[in-house]
Amino acid sequence: TIITSISKMESLALSEKEMLSVFQTFMRETDDNDGVDAIRRYQDDIKQDDIYSITDGFMENPINAFHFVKRMHTIWGGIISELDCDNCFLHPPKPLLDFQRRLQEIDKRHGNMIHVSSADLSFAALAIVRLWQTYKLNLSQLIQGKILDEQTEPLTVDEVMYICRQLDDDNYYYKEIIWLQELQREMRLSPQSYTDTQFTRVARQLASTYAKAEMPWQSVKLLEKELSVGNDSLSEVNKKKIERDITYFKQKSGDIPMGERNKTLSPDERDVNKASYEALCRGDLKRNVKVTSRLVCIYRPTKLPWYRVKEEILNHKPRVSMMYNVITDAEIDFIKEFALSKLKESTVAGNVVGGTTNYKYRISQTAWFLQTVHSNFLKIAKRIELITGLSTKQFPLPYDAEDLQVLNYGVGGMYEPHEDYFGTPIDVAPNPPFHSAEFINSGDREATWMFYLSDVKAGGATVFTDIKATVSPVKNSAVFWYDIKRNGNLDDRSTHAGCPVLLGSKWGIYNYYYNKFL
Ligand SMILES: O=C(O)CCC(=O)C(=O)O
Ligand SMILES: [Fe+2]
């Protein structure tokens, strides 16, 4: 899926401009008598201004990204499925075949990305909810297209309803109700901007959600209110629909004794469990002064007398440090460019779930590189070795260091709390991209190094959930920590996460070093 990398989406936006131009050619070469109206009709949906307004950084705003994914899926996806329809055109005219061929060329040139699926759209919608929840965004502003101080196109009623349906599919009724109520409130502030059918749809969805949350008497109440408020403006058809719903929900309420109609809404268990992690992501948790008063910055010596690194010690047990100015802008530019076309969906590593993608858990794309792939990679591996004192040897086998992973996060991209160690010997159940031969006798991941290749405008911190530390990405720096104790035991205080990216495109290079204990 495309939404797992912001930078991939930026490339896709370039393809869209080319798609528009071949569509325009198709429009010029055909007319109403060619029997291709099914495609020509899309002319009205395509807003050239929207396509041309995409400039640098556009996709770094999740609302923009959502609008874009929606357009790619519904409009371009619609055109593509018309073109791919085998029985629709018995004698396809030449311009149609040309159009089809040109789109395929664009697709091929840009890495086969132009098919944006309904799954992409659903993930983008859920990303908006995740960001709202994690960063406690103001929902009214969010619906109006505003995140922090960035204003963009508002979410349409359709889009909010779509987001609500995604919540519904996952049984997140509490959140769905909050969203629907906010939407209803927005709409009532300027009723003239909406149709009575829109009001009816929102009210009926809200009623149905209340019923699913086992409060059908609330469904009755709010629909009755909708009838009285909208009395003059509702069409007969919509009134009928609402009346029918009222009868239905009254029946449902009938089964529930009056005394038991005091249920109130409460947040979903799944969200309650995440509250402290989310507070860390916002930087809202204060650490114990006993711990923080012992934290210092040092010039960390290396084997080279003239090379010292600015180290900010963020925690002692286990040691977690930020290292400043350890990669140059030139190296960063090279590596991003080098990695972009090789990015693939990130998998969740480990012996148990190894090699699987899980979009509830991790939303990013990764490219893996041997150090020898280019001198720049070898150079940064050597630098890490110099600074940490850990061996980064890859050959001869076994590895002391894994391949370098270049990573770019997606829309609302994150990596939920986890440990980097495997906990069991890696050669037991190796999974791609791990190859058994390289890891036999390597041991387990004992330390993690992560370069930040970008600043992140908002969100995207690396947080340690046990020691309660929040590390905000700073371009050119790196965070370094130990996952295994000196005695070789796994250190469960190393649990950490990459928080959802709110605004920006987060890039990193990750590297893991092996002990020989297991
Ligand atoms: O991106 C981050 O901040 C954390 C990533 C991480 O923990 C990992 O890739 O293992
Ligand atoms: Fe990690």
- Give me the pLDDT at residue 260, please: 83
State the distance between the two ends of the chain, measured CA to CA, in whole angstroms.
Answer: 37
Among 107-116, 164-173, 466-475, whose mean pLDDT is lowest?
107-116
Confidence of residue 397 (pLDDT cuts 50, 70, 90): confident
Q: State pLDDT tens for residues 331-390.
A: 999 999 999 999 998 877 654 444 566 778 899 999 999 999 999 999 999 999 999 999
Q: Measure the CA–CA gap between 379 and 451, rounded to whole angstroms.
A: 13
Residue 508 Cβ inside 6 Å of ligand 1? The answer reads: yes
290, containing H or E segment: helix 289-292
Which ligand lies nearest the alpha carbon of 473? 1
Confidence of residue 428 (pLDDT cuts 50, 70, 90): very low
Instruction: Work out the average pLDDT over 120-144.
Output: 98
Instruction: Work out the average pLDDT over 96-116.
Output: 93
Instruction: Work out the average pLDDT over 155-175.
Output: 97
Q: What 8-state DSSP symbol labels residue 400?
A: S
Confidence of residue 429 (pLDDT cuts 50, 70, 90): very low
Ligand 1 pocket test target in 362, 496, 512 with most atoms within 8 Å of CB: 496
Ligand 1 pocket test target in 348, 462, 465, 470 with most atoms within 8 Å of CB: 462
Instruction: Work out the average pLDDT over 307-317.
Output: 97
Q: State pLDDT tens for residues 14-44.
A: 999 999 999 999 999 999 888 899 999 999 9
Q: Measure the CA–CA gap between 473 and 508, rounded to whole angstroms.
A: 9
Q: Measure the CA–CA gap between 9 and 363, rounded to whole angstroms.
A: 13
Radius of gyration of the chain (CA): 27
- Give me the pLDDT at residue 296, please: 97
Does residue 440 register a pLDDT over 80? no
Q: Measure the CA–CA gap between 61 and 57, rounded to whole angstroms.
A: 8
514 with 445: CB under 8 angstroms? yes
Residue bearing the CA closest to ligand 1, atom 10: 420
- Give me the pLDDT at residue 352, please: 42
On the 0-12 / 13-18 / 19+ scale of CB atoms within 10 A, 51 is: middle
430 with 442: CB under 8 angstroms? no
Instruction: Work out the average pLDDT over 473-496.
Output: 95
Q: Which two tokens stand for residue 502?
A: 């709110």
Confidence of residue 517 (pLDDT cuts 50, 70, 90): low
Does residue 436 register a pLDDT over 60? no
Residue type for position 198: Q
Residue 402 Cβ inside 6 Å of ligand 1? The answer reads: no
Residue 245: count of CB within 10 angstroms of its CB: 20
Distance 496 CA to ligand 1 centre (A): 8
Residue 498 Cβ inside 6 Å of ligand 1? The answer reads: yes
Residue bearing the CA closest to ligand 1, atom 2: 498
Overall fold of domain 148-267 = 1.25.40
Residue 224: count of CB within 10 angstroms of its CB: 15
Q: State pLDDT tens for residues 183-237.
A: 999 999 999 999 999 999 999 999 999 999 999 999 999 999 999 988 788 999 9
Q: How far is CA 213 from CA 126, 216, 220, in A?
A: 20, 8, 13
In three-state form (DSSP H/G/I as H, E/B as E, the rest C), the secondary structure along 344-377 is EECCECCCCCCCECCCCCECEEEEEECHHHCHHH
Q: State pLDDT tens for residues 33-81.
A: 888 999 999 999 998 888 988 989 999 999 999 999 999 999 999 999 9
The residues, any chain, with a CB within 8 Å of residue 336's CB and separated by 6 or more, are: 7, 406, 408, 453, 507
The residues, any chain, with a CB within 8 Å of residue 190's CB and separated by 6 or more, are: none
Domain ranges of the chain: 1-134, 148-267, 276-514
Q: Measure the CA–CA gap between 359 and 410, rounded to whole angstroms.
A: 11
Q: What is the DSSP string of 41-86?
A: GGGGT--HHHHHT--TTGGGSHHHHHHHHHHIIIIIHHHHHHHT-T
Does residue 299 register a pLDDT over 50? yes
**Tokens 């998998």 label which residue?**
347
Among 55-69, 128-142, 257-271, 485-499, whose mean pLDDT is lowest?
257-271
Which ligand lies nearest the alpha carbon of 405? 1
Q: Measure the CA–CA gap between 218 and 261, rounded to whole angstroms.
A: 9
Q: Quick one: how far is CA 412 from the chain centroid?
A: 3
What are the counts of helices (DSSP H) followed by strands (DSSP E) for the chain? 19, 17
Which has the higher per-residue pLDDT, 263 or 97? Answer: 97
Atom of ligand 1 nearest to the CA of 346: 9
% residues pLDDT > 70 (the chain): 94
Does residue 148 register a pLDDT over 70? yes
Residue bearing the CA closest to ligand 1, atom 1: 498
62 with 131: CB under 8 angstroms? yes
Distance 23 CA to ligand 2 centre (A): 44
Residue bearing the CA closest to ligand 1, atom 7: 497
**CATH topology of 148-267 equal to that of 276-514?**
no
Q: Which CATH superfamily is domain 276-514 in?
A: q2cbj1_9rhob like domain (2.60.120.620)
Confidence of residue 90 (pLDDT cuts 50, 70, 90): confident
Q: What 8-state DSSP symbol labels residue 402?
A: P
- Give me the pLDDT at residue 441, please: 67
Does residue 284 register a pLDDT over 60? yes
Atom of ligand 1 nearest to the CA of 349: 10
Distance 350 CA to ligand 1 centre (A): 14
φ, ψ of residue 209 to 5 degrees: the values are -70, -40
Q: Which two tokens stand for residue 199?
A: 């009001």
- Give me the pLDDT at residue 439, please: 66
